[in-house]
Amino acid sequence: MATFRTNAGLCETCAFARVVESTRGSRFYMCRKSETDARFRKYPPLPVVRCDGYVENTTDDVETGRDNEASNN
């Protein structure tokens, strides 16, 4: 896997963030809070410097995976 250098702001340490990687190698931060609360954008513009839904991820592990929606772009 490639090494990425991104400043995603709060998303980098948020419990609701999921890193989505497209088949073309693009990387996006998806906000899982958007699934239940319309105030949050599915893919917020980065870096996120303030967020009312931010919860620190205590496991130090941002969920990663491939998302069909992102990979079809």
Residue with the two structure tokens 């998302």: 67
Q: How many domains, in total, are found in the chain? A: 1
Structure tokens at 5: 């250098």
With respect to residue 32, please indicate whether it lies within any of the assigned structural domains: yes
pLDDT for residue 59: 82
With respect to residue 29, please indicate whether it lies within any of the assigned structural domains: yes
With respect to residue 18, please indicate whether it lies within any of the assigned structural domains: yes
With respect to residue 3, please indicate whether it lies within any of the assigned structural domains: no
With respect to residue 5, please indicate whether it lies within any of the assigned structural domains: no
pLDDT for residue 70: 42
Note down the domain range covering 27.
Answer: 10-71
With respect to residue 37, please indicate whether it lies within any of the assigned structural domains: yes
Torsion sign (Cα): 63, 46, 34, 67: negative
Structure tokens at 31: 């906000």
With respect to residue 48, please indicate whether it lies within any of the assigned structural domains: yes
With respect to residue 24, please indicate whether it lies within any of the assigned structural domains: yes
pLDDT in tens, 34-70: 999 999 999 999 999 999 999 999 886 666 655 444 4
